[in-house]
């Protein structure tokens, strides 16, 4: 296989990697050039600025996953409906320039008559499955909007979004709790984090659990420096409570950046559930698999 | 009994009423002079500005409930621990000027080793009990921080705070959902509100349910004008889901301003639970009962 330019173009950031024919990462770039800061009509220019050099040097195909394929992105790559397997997304690329630049479609699913969507995570899921050699899995992709994904026989059968990272930031910065929290998050205080997890599990709603940040401060039961870790435990704990995880169903695959993945690993451990972790290379692995699929398709 | 100056001095607003000896409201005032905007040392001045006239004319006692008795308030009236009855708060007033101005203490309780607190709502609860002639009740006092209160044999045995109103405002103004919502809330769309209630009930966490505001907009399943009502249904629905209300236990007493109380009544109806509503007069009734208790005590 030839080189591949693998790109994850999200809401707030742009990451790319030049991959060799065997999938080895030769070079990586990242920039705060998420789709929200790209002016209308500016996507081709931002692409050229960051990846033109690689494309000129290697003539490689560029595959782009993430919000760049949304209505607010470069062009819209319509969602594939779940259940959706690897071949579904690989065969429904949205070509910006034939054989040169393509957008990977996101996925949609339906739960109780309400739709859910992802863009970019589908590529990470298939990449993680390839890296781990799995066909069945339950996965979490933590972040601003965490995704819990159910995979059966190589197909994504359903998923649920949790606004966990965003709610953490809102409570941290804009709520009455902000008065109780120090300016900086500081290092993770694992005990405070676990205490937050436990309180979220005992509460039935974050609306209630979150108020404990205020009352524990009021009664001097937790130092201010431990509060960000405690609040992090509350929001992640609420997400896990809602998943009602069954510990007999094997490990949960956590796909994400190391610091956040470590928190989810701690949270799962507290429930007696093992975790397997896959990092950012899941995106590159997923895009590489799509490129190989294209080469092998007639 | 003589006249009484009844005051509810909260975080963002100040309300007062001049009551006759039989409890009749003779005059009411309100001002955006909540404790957050009173400068340090400025409470006596703000009090005199709004209530000095009444006190000079009648020589009446002034009883103040609410956040004015907090650490950030005029002076601190320490919390009474639950279970707490009417006599507990009536006999533990914090006197700013003997026989002239007193603060009503708030309540604290403990749940799974985590404290909870209220200031002002305890007075409304005892006022509502007096108005309705009840000794046992489950009550909700909706607002920025909703309180669910359990009353048995005239005593508040426990309560839980939900940051419902605050989370609504945060999601409305500062989250990614703000892009989907119109500037003004507009009138309540009862169908959209009920749809939000139902989705919150089917979801186990607001972290997940809230994302539906985005996806319903994305797929044009709900018009933008209906979104504020839908989001309101989601947050109130999450609060009710967490309460796991049993419909065999009689009506829920809703204490609050008419527009918000009407939403809770709708939400309770959707669960097949009857609601009894008490308005802002609950504060005046509670403070009046305390004043009468003082006159009758030796």
Looking at residue B298, its pLDDT comes to: 64
- State yes or no: pLDDT of A259 exceeds 80: yes
Burial class (CB in 10 A: 0-12, 13-18, 19+), B274: exposed
Between the two ends of chain B, the Cα-to-Cα distance in Å is: 15
The per-residue pLDDT for range B60-86, each reduced to its tens digit, is: 999 999 999 999 999 999 999 999 999
Looking at residue B247, its pLDDT comes to: 83
Looking at residue A181, its pLDDT comes to: 94
Average pLDDT over residues A223-231: 97
Cβ contact, residue pair A114, B216, below 8 Å? yes
Parallel, antiparallel or unpaired: strands B107-111 and B114-118: antiparallel
Query: Are B150 and B75 in contact, with CB atoms under 8 Å apart?
Result: no
- In a 13 Å sphere around the CA of B228, the CA atoms on its Cβ side amount to 14
How far does the CA of residue B95 sit from the closest CA of chain A (Å)?
Answer: 22
Cβ contact, residue pair B211, A161, below 8 Å? yes
What gap in Å lies between CA A278 and CA B228, rounded to an integer? 38
Mutate to test the interface with A, among B207, B240, B243 (most CBs of A within 10 A): B207
Average pLDDT over residues A11-26: 95
Burial class (CB in 10 A: 0-12, 13-18, 19+), A284: buried
The model's confidence at residue A150, banded by pLDDT at 50, 70 and 90, is very high
What gap in Å lies between CA B77 and CA A17, rounded to an integer? 61
What gap in Å lies between CA A275 and CA A118, rounded to an integer? 22
The model's confidence at residue A298, banded by pLDDT at 50, 70 and 90, is low
- State yes or no: pLDDT of A250 exceeds 90: no
What gap in Å lies between CA B163 and CA B101, rounded to an integer? 31
Looking at residue B248, its pLDDT comes to: 83
Query: Are B242 and A207 in contact, with CB atoms under 8 Å apart?
Result: yes
What pairs with residue B231 in β-bridges? Answer: none
What gap in Å lies between CA B173 and CA B187, rounded to an integer? 18
| Helices B281-296 and B121-132: angle between axes, nearest 10 degrees | 80
Query: Are A69 and A119 in contact, with CB atoms under 8 Å apart?
Result: yes
Looking at residue A297, its pLDDT comes to: 78
In the predicted model, residues of chain B with pLDDT beneath 70 are 1, 298
What gap in Å lies between CA B293 and CA B278, rounded to an integer? 22
Cβ contact, residue pair A207, B242, below 8 Å? yes
Average pLDDT over residues A73-96: 97
Smallest Cβ–Cβ distance between B242 and the set A161, A167, A205 belongs to A205
* Vertex B233 angle, CA B230 and B234, to 5°: 90
A203 to chain B: closest CA residue: B242
Average pLDDT over residues A134-160: 97
Looking at residue B250, its pLDDT comes to: 86
What gap in Å lies between CA B25 and CA B287, rounded to an integer? 12
For the sheet with B61-65, list strands across it: B25-31, B14-19, B4-9, B61-65, B101-103, B94-97
Question: Chain A: which residues have CB within 8 Å of chain B?
Answer: 71, 108, 112, 114-117, 145-146, 160-164, 166-167, 170-171, 174-176, 199, 202-208, 210-212, 215-216, 218-219, 221, 235, 238-239, 241-244
Burial class (CB in 10 A: 0-12, 13-18, 19+), A236: buried
Around Cβ A55, how many Cβ atoms within 10 Å? 18
The model's confidence at residue A280, banded by pLDDT at 50, 70 and 90, is confident
Cβ contact, residue pair A239, B207, below 8 Å? yes
């Amino acid at each position: 296989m030839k080189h591949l330019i693998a790109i994850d173009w999200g809401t707030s950031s742009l990451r790319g990697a030049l991959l060799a024919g065997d999938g080895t990462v030769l070079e990586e770039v990242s920039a705060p050039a998420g789709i929200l800061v790209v002016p209308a009509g500016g996507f081709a220019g931002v692409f050229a600025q960051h990846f033109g050099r690689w494309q000129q040097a290697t003539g490689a195909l560029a595959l782009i996953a993430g919000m760049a394929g949304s209505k607010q992105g470069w062009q819209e790559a319509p969602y594939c409906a779940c259940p959706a397997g690897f071949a579904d997304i690989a065969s429904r690329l949205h070509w910006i320039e034939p054989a040169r630049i393509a957008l990977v479609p996101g996925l949609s699913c339906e739960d109780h008559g309400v739709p859910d969507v992802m863009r970019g995570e589908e590529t990470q899921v298939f990449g993680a499955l390839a890296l781990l050699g799995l066909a069945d899995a339950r996965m979490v992709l933590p972040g601003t909007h965490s995704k819990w994904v159910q995979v059966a026989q190589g197909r994504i059968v359903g998923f649920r979004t949790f606004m966990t990272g965003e709610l953490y930031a809102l409570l941290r910065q804009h709520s009455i709790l902000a008065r109780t929290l120090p300016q900086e998050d500081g290092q993770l205080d694992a005990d405070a984090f676990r205490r937050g997890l436990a309180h979220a599990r005992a509460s039935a709603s974050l609306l209630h659990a979150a108020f404990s940040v205020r009352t524990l401060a009021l009664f001097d039961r937790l130092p201010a420096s431990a509060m960000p870790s405690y609040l992090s435990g509350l929001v992640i704990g609420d997400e896990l409570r809602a998943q009602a995880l069954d510990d007999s169903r094997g490990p949960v695959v956590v796909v994400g950046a190391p610091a956040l993945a470590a928190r989810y690993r701690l949270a799962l451990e507290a429930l007696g559930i093992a975790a397997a972790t896959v990092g950012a290379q899941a995106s590159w692995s997923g895009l590489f698999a799509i490129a190989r699929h294209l080469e092998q398709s007639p």
